[in-house]
Amino acid sequence: MVINGSIVQKDDFAVAELEGERINLPIRFVRQARLDADEAEHIERLLLVVCPGRYRLLTETSEDVNRIRVLIEEIGMPGEVLDETQTNIRASVRSRLILCSITRPRPSWRVHLPKVAIQLAPGERSHVFLLIVRGYVELWFPEALRQAVSVPISELIL
103-112 pLDDT tens trace: 988 788 999 9
Per-residue model confidence as pLDDT tens for the chain (158 residues): 555 566 656 688 999 999 999 999 999 999 999 998 878 888 999 999 999 999 999 988 789 899 999 999 999 999 999 998 898 988 899 899 999 999 988 788 999 999 999 999 999 999 999 999 999 999 999 999 999 999 898 988 87
Tell whether pTM > 0.85.
yes
Rg over CA atoms, the chain: 18
Domains of the chain by range and CATH?
2-157 (3.40.1550.20)
**27 CB contacts (<8 Å, ≥6 apart)?**
109
Neighbouring residues of 10: CB distance < 8 A, sequence distance ≥ 6: 1
